[in-house]
């Protein structure tokens, strides 16, 4: 996975989806104290200010951190895109993000993909984002995005991936085009942590089911961004690296795919 090696993105990040106010602040504060150096947020989460404050209060050098945010769909037009990013940077108390993503592709093309990806690239050219990428893009949309931006420009596609939704068509496309897969909702809101197969594998190396799932994701060369408000869980997740799954373990987890998609709003694309 040359993207990971070249770009120095920590494979395990702390997500902030669904975290508001003090919960968001404390989660990021705890994560940074525990040693996380990759933080993921988005405009629509409504917590960029709290994330930014936690980062500032940590007094860590900005160069030590990998920070991601995402542009929401109502800011895709040329007139709104960069101003909205600058507002995000102000909230995050930083001059740049390490990764800027298009949060969801537009279904209705009310703003053309060419227009919003051109603005995304402009953000990178201006130094407001070190890397650029997409989220929730299908293989057809990634093909279109590569036609617009050119090969090698899209750093990642952040998509739902967990043992119950393995998203193989998207994963294979990303791997063929050197686009990093960032897996969100790796635990499927906890559903997969109760799975008999996962729990049985966890007993062998005395790991937690969460550590098994994280090891499964990261052994495939993906990055992942689980979120938690519990220090114990944040700390335990970091221990995933002590777990090495066998080829047989990986094959067993591969059989769990059941197209169990959780992030499927009415504005979602036609999934692969």
Q: Is 33 domain-assigned?
A: yes
Q: Is 86 domain-assigned?
A: yes
Q: How many CA atoms lie within 13 A of 153 on its CB side?
A: 20
Q: Is 197 domain-assigned?
A: no
Residues facing 135 on adjacent strands:
158
Quote the DSSP letter at residue 59: T
At how many degrees (to 10) do helices 231-238 and 209-219 cross? Answer: 40
- The CATH code of the domain that includes 131 is 3.20.20.100
Which residues does the annotation mark as catalytic? Answer: 45
Report how far apart, in Å, the C-alpha atoms of 171 and of each of 48, 133, 176, 184, 199 are.
29, 15, 9, 13, 25
Each residue's pLDDT, cut to its tens digit, for the chain (272 residues) gives: 445 544 589 999 999 999 999 999 999 999 999 999 999 999 999 999 999 999 999 999 999 999 999 999 999 999 999 999 999 999 999 999 999 999 999 999 899 999 999 999 999 999 999 999 999 999 999 999 999 999 999 999 999 999 999 999 999 999 999 999 999 999 999 999 999 999 999 998 789 999 999 999 999 999 999 999 999 999 999 999 999 999 999 999 999 999 999 999 999 999 99
Q: Is 47 domain-assigned?
A: yes
Residue 204 confidence (pLDDT): 81
Q: Which long-range contacts (CB under 8 A, 24 or more apart) does 175-180 make?
A: 175/221, 177/142, 177/146, 177/151, 178/2, 178/3, 178/152, 179/3, 179/133, 179/142, 179/154, 179/155, 180/1, 180/3, 180/4, 180/7, 180/9, 180/133, 180/155, 180/156, 180/222, 180/223
SS3 131: strand
Give the residue among 64, 63, 65, 74 at the shortest CA–CA distance from 41: 65
**Total domains, the chain:** 1
Residue 7 confidence (pLDDT): 58
| pLDDT 10s digits, 103-137 | 999 999 899 999 999 999 999 999 999 999 999 99
Q: Is 65 domain-assigned?
A: yes
Give the residue among 216, 215, 233, 214 at the shortest CA–CA distance from 225: 214
Q: Is 109 domain-assigned?
A: yes
Q: Is 143 domain-assigned?
A: yes
Tell the residue number behind the tokens 């909702």, with chain if given: 185
Tell the residue number behind the tokens 């909230």, with chain if given: 91
Query: 96 φ, ψ to 5°?
Result: -160, 160
Distance CA 52, CA 32 (A): 12
DSSP string, 197-251: HHHHHHHTTT--HHHHHHHHHHHTT-EE----S-HHHHHHHHGGGG----HHHHH
Residue 2 confidence (pLDDT): 43
SS3 11: coil
Domain hosting residue 109, numbered range:
2-188+221-228
Q: Is 236 domain-assigned?
A: no
- Cβ atoms 151, 179 nearer than 8 A: no
Residue 205 confidence (pLDDT): 76
Q: What is the SS3 string spanning 173-190? A: HHHHCCCEEEEECCCHHH
What pTM, to 2 d.p., does this model score?
Answer: 0.96
**Where in the chain does DSSP place strands (E)?**
14-15, 38-40, 66-71, 97-102, 129-135, 154-160, 180-184, 223-224
């Amino acid at each position: 996975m040359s993207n990971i090696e070249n770009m120095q993105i920590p494979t395990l990040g702390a997500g902030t989806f669904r975290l508001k106010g003090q919960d968001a602040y404390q989660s990021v504060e705890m994560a940074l104290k525990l040693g996380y150096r990759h933080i993921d947020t988005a405009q629509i989460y409504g917590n960029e200010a709290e994330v930014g404050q936690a980062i500032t209060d940590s007094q860590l050098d900005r160069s030590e951190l990998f920070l991601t945010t995402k542009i929401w769909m109502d800011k895709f037009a040329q007139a709104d895109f960069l101003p909205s990013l600058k507002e995000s940077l102000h909230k995050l108390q930083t001059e740049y993000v390490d990764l800027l993503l298009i949060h969801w592709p537009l279904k209705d093309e009310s703003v053309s993909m060419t227009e919003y990806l051109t603005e995304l690239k402009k953000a990178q050219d201006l130094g407001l984002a070190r890397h650029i990428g997409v989220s929730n893009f299908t293989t057809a949309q990634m093909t279109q995005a590569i036609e617009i931006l050119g090969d090698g420009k899209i750093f990642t596609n952040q998509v739902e991936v967990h043992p119950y939704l393995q998203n193989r068509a998207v994963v294979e496309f990303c791997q063929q085009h050197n686009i990093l897969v960032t897996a969100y909702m790796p635990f499927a809101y906890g559903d997969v942590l109760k799975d008999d197969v996962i729990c049985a594998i966890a007993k062998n190396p005395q790991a937690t089911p969460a550590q098994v799932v994280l090891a499964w994701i990261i052994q495939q060369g993906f990055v992942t961004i689980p979120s938690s408000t519990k220090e114990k869980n944040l700390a335990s997740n970091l221990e995933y690296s002590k777990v090495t799954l066998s080829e047989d373990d990986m094959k067993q987890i591969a059989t769990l795919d059941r197209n169990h998609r959780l992030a499927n709003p009415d504005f979602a694309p036609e999934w692969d």
